[in-house]
């Protein structure tokens, strides 16, 4: 067998993106122009929102969402214990205190309203829910939870662009276009908010709280400006917006491909690696950003990953729990989140992106099987039983 090399993730880019970038360069207008506006409008429409704000990253989008909702020092925001570090950092930027919630279970690594209840206090202002791996959280349940307690609901939808309901029922939803996400603008992000006032505050803060834009002054609509609040430079440029518009056209097909590959992974894992547990389920609505699974307790994940790497397969860990990072441990103090910690010890992410073939997925699963067999001959047993069961079943047919 020839040596394969299978990356964990990878963007799908082509002639359309190249052509779009060339057009921007030729136009001479490089940032915050008609392409940024068109990208915002098209992205909002895809997610059933009336408007959106394009920014330079999902991290900026989360920061602006919190600020535009008025969250800051003295406030508390509930955040999942297992997510990318950007989710909690955005809360820390505002001076508010992140309060970590444990995940509901290790096989569904998202937080649940019932368990977040104990964390709500007089200072709690918002909950940030993550559509983990693209698997959408129960937004109706969270809306009810937040309405009863007068809290804002923010979705970190970095993993779920193209999922029609990723932003539904939220006060703000934040998306990422980093190259390993479902669609890319290289760096980039988007903020959706259903309240036009929230979006307009965020829009002002995207560009230093200035009352007029470069475009207004260029076109002679304005000659000067005031600064009405402390803002930032979180702008998106025309090159990125042009790439984003081209990617948006591809997104439904890219996500559909991801979903098909995920279903294939699940089938093969159940058949060939019964000791591993895929997270979530095949019927869960998803943008299929990640293919994560749980290894049995005590299995040496580093050795498995090194072994698969030697066979050309890149794997990863999404995510180490936030409260165990050095910085966050000192910022948050010593806290225990037993399910997040166990998830963090046992989770493994397999390659998933639209550029993979079915054969690639079969190869990844076979390298995982071989890695486990090489390192843990004892784990052979359940597989042999499974094969016998299947063989006897087919005899009865
Ligand atoms: C990638 C990611 C982010 C941050 O996105 P950037 O665009 O890189 O800032 C935030 N949250 C989650 C869950 C992510 O995976």
Q: What is the pLDDT of residues 133-176, one digit of tens each?
A: 999 999 999 999 999 999 999 999 999 999 999 999 999 999 99
pLDDT at 1 over 60: no
pTM: 0.94
362: its two tokens: 């079969």
Write the pLDDT tens digit of every residue in 110-127.
999 988 999 999 999 999
pLDDT at 245 over 80: yes
Q: What is the pLDDT of residue 140?
A: 96
| Under 8 Å between Cβ of 314 and 6 | yes
Kindly list the distances between the CA atom of residue 108 and the CA atoms of 167, 211, 336, in Å, as whole numbers in the listed order. Answer: 20, 45, 19
**End-to-end alpha-carbon separation of the chain, Å?**
34
User: ∠ CA(186), CA(136), CA(114), 5° rounding?
Assistant: 130
Sign of the C-alpha dihedral, residues 222, 224, 229, 231? Answer: positive
- For residue 236, report the distance from its CA to the centre of ligand 1, in Å: 16
Average pLDDT estimate for 90-111: 97
Q: Residue 218: CB partners within 8 Å, gap ≥ 6?
A: none
- For residue 348, report the distance from its CA to the centre of ligand 1, in Å: 19
12: its two tokens: 């799908």
Strand 172-176 and strand 347-350: the pairing is unpaired
Ligand 1 pocket (Cβ < 6 Å) reads 57-59, 83-84, 86-87, 130, 156, 158-159, 176, 178, 189
For residues 126 and 76, what is the distance between their CA atoms, to the nearest angstrom? 7
pLDDT at 389 over 50: no
How high does pLDDT run on average in the chain?
94
- The preferred substitution site among 64, 129, 176 for testing ligand 1, maximizing ligand atoms within 8 Å of CB, is 176
**Of the ranges 43-57, 77-91, 102-116, 367-381, which one carries the lowest mean pLDDT score?**
367-381
Cα diameter, the chain: 84
**Residue 394 pLDDT level (bands cut at 50, 70, 90):** very low
Kindly list the distances between the CA atom of residue 364 and the CA atoms of 41, 291, 307, in Å, as whole numbers in the listed order. Answer: 39, 11, 12
Average pLDDT estimate for 66-79: 98
């Amino acid at each position: 067998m020839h040596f394969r090399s299978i990356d964990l993730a990878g963007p799908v880019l082509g002639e359309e993106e190249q052509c779009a970038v060339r057009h921007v360069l030729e136009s001479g207008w490089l940032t915050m122009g008609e392409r940024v506006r068109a990208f915002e409008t098209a992205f909002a429409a895809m997610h059933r929102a009336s408007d959106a704000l394009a920014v330079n990253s999902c991290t900026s989008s989360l920061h602006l969402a919190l600020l535009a909702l008025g969250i800051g020092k003295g406030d508390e925001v509930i955040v999942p214990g297992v997510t990318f570090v950007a989710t909690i950092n955005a809360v820390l930027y505002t001076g508010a205190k992140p309060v970590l919630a444990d995940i509901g279970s290790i096989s569904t690594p998202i937080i649940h309203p019932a368990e977040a209840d104990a964390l709500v206090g007089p200072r709690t202002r918002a909950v940030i829910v993550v559509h983990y791996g693209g698997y959408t959280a129960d937004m109706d349940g969270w809306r009810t939870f937040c309405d009863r307690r007068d809290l804002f609901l923010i979705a970190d939808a970095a993993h779920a662009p193209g999922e029609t309901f990723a932003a539904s029922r939220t006060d703000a939803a934040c998306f990422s276009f980093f190259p390993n996400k479902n669609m890319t603008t290289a760096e980039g992000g988007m903020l959706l908010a259903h309240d036009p006032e929230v979006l307009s505050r965020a829009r002002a803060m995207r560009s230093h709280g200035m009352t007029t834009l470069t475009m207004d002054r260029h076109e002679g609509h304005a000659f000067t400006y005031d600064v009405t609040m402390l803002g930032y430079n979180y702008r998106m440029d025309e090159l990125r917006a042009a790439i984003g518009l081209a990617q948006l056209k591809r997104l439904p097909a890219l996500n559909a491909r991801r979903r098909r590959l995920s279903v294939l992974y699940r089938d093969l894992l159940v058949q060939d690696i019964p000791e591993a547990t895929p997270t979530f389920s095949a019927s869960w609505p998803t943008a299929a950003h990640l293919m994560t699974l749980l290894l049995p307790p005590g299995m040496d994940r580093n050795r498995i990953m090194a072994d698969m790497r030697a066979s050309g397969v890149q794997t990863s860990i999404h995510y180490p729990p936030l409260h165990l990072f050095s910085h966050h441990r000192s910022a948050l103090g010593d806290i225990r989140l037993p399910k997040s910690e166990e998830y963090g010890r046992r989770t493994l992410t397999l390659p998933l992106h639209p550029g993979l073939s079915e054969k690639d997925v079969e190869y990844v699963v076979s390298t995982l099987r071989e890695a486990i067999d090489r390192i843990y001959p004892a784990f052979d047993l359940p597989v042999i039983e499974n094969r016998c069961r299947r063989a006897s079943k087919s005899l009865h047919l």
